[in-house]
Amino acid sequence: MKIAIQGIRGAFHEAAALKHFGDTIEIVECDTFKSLCDTLKSSIADKALMAIENSIAGSILGNYTLIHEYGFYVIGEVYLNIKMNLMTIPGVAISDISVVESHPIALQQCQEYIHKNLNATCKESNDTAESARNLSLSSDTSKAIIASKICSELYNLEIKQEGIETHKQNFTRFLILGREDDKSLGNNKASLRLQLGNEVGSLANVLVAFKENEVNLTKIQSIPIIGAPYEYDFHIDVEWADYDRYQSALAEVETKTRALSLLGEYKKSSFELNQ
C-alpha cells in the first residue's frame, strides 16, 4: 500500500505511518500539505497521513481547510509521542559539535538540552529529516541534527542522545485520509465540522444533545470567521459506546446548526508515551 506523507523519509509523518500501518507500506514523499492532497487525489497514493494537531503547538487549522476542499474522508487517527534525538556522523564527539541544525520548532523544543550540554549555535532548516539527509550527504563532522529515531538508520547517523526535548508530553495527532470511495461508517469516533450562529447558548444546545445521548466530546475548537462576525465554525471530535445513540444525537444536532459536515467516522486510537 502506498502512503503519502508530508516531508521526506524519516520525517515524523513516516514514524506515524509505520505505527499505524506496519512496515510493509511504501512511502510517497510530498513537499507540502497541498501536494500531499494532490498525491492522494490523483491516486498516486492509496491513503495519506496528515498532522492535524500537536499538544504543544496546537491545531493546524489550514489542514482542516484542505480536507474540506479536497472532499477527503477521515478513516483513522494515530497519536505519536514526539521524541527528539541528537545525531551526528558516526564517531563524532559531542564536544566537537559547533552547529545544531533542525526545524525551528524542534530546535525550540530542545533549547534547554542544547544550552546545558553543547557549545553550539543553532541553524534552522525546513524539515528535521531533510537536515538528517543533508548531514549524511555532507559528512560534516562539526554538525549535529535533531530528528526522529528512524533517521539514524535511514541516513546512517549516530544517535548521541535520545529524547532531548524539554516537554516529554509532546505528541502529534495525525489523521488517515482516504478518497470518497474509502468512506465507511460506524466505529466509535467521528470528526465533525459545525457552523453555528453566535446567539447566546447555541453551542450549549448542541452539547446538551450530545450529552443526552451519552456521546462524549474529545476535542472542540472554534474558528473565528472574519467578515461574518456573528458566525463561528467549530471542529468537534466525539466518541460513543452506542452507535444508534450517536446517530440520534447527530440528527438532533443537525436541527440546531446552520451547517453540519461529517469529516469521517473511524476507530479511535490511544495515547502511549513511548513509541
Of the candidate residues 42, 43, 229, 274, the single one contacting a second copy (CB under 8 A) = 229
- Residue 5's nearest CA partner among 24, 33, 25 is 33
Assess 122 for contact with a second copy (CB under 8 A).
Answer: no
Nearer to a second copy, 76 or 178 (CB): 76
Supply the minimum distance, in Å, between the C-beta of residue 178 and a second copy.
24
Q: Find all residues with CB under 8 Å of 101, minimum gap 6, and list them.
A: 122, 123, 124, 125, 131, 134, 135, 143, 144, 145, 146
User: How do strand 231-239 and strand 189-197 relate by DSSP bridges?
Assistant: antiparallel
Q: Where are the alpha helices (DSSP H) in 51-98?
A: 61-70
- Residue 236's nearest CA partner among 257, 17, 165, 244 is 257
Of the candidate residues 73, 210, 246, 266, the single one contacting a second copy (CB under 8 A) = 210
**Segment lying near a second copy (by CB under 8 A), choices 14-22, 43-51, 211-219, 250-258:** 211-219
Assess 166 for contact with a second copy (CB under 8 A).
Answer: no
Of the candidate residues 223, 247, 268, 275, the single one contacting a second copy (CB under 8 A) = 223
Assess 244 for contact with a second copy (CB under 8 A).
Answer: no
Cell of 237: 471530535
Assess 61 for contact with a second copy (CB under 8 A).
Answer: yes
- How is residue 51 annotated by DSSP? E
Distance CA 219, CA 74 (A): 15
Distance CA 181, CA 30 (A): 22
Nearer to a second copy, 93 or 226 (CB): 226
DSSP H or E stretch at residue 77: strand 73-81
Assess 255 for contact with a second copy (CB under 8 A).
Answer: no
Supply the minimum distance, in Å, between the C-beta of residue 16 and a second copy.
15
Supply the minimum distance, in Å, between the C-beta of residue 275 and a second copy.
12
Backbone phi, then psi, for 39, in 5-degree steps?
-65, -40
Supply the minimum distance, in Å, between the C-beta of residue 85 and a second copy.
19
**Segment lying near a second copy (by CB under 8 A), choices 18-26, 93-101, 141-149, 218-226:** 218-226
Question: Which residues lie near a second copy (CB under 8 A)?
Answer: 53, 55-62, 79, 81, 104, 124, 126, 169, 171, 173, 198, 200-201, 203-205, 207-208, 210-212, 214-227, 229, 232, 234, 270-271, 273
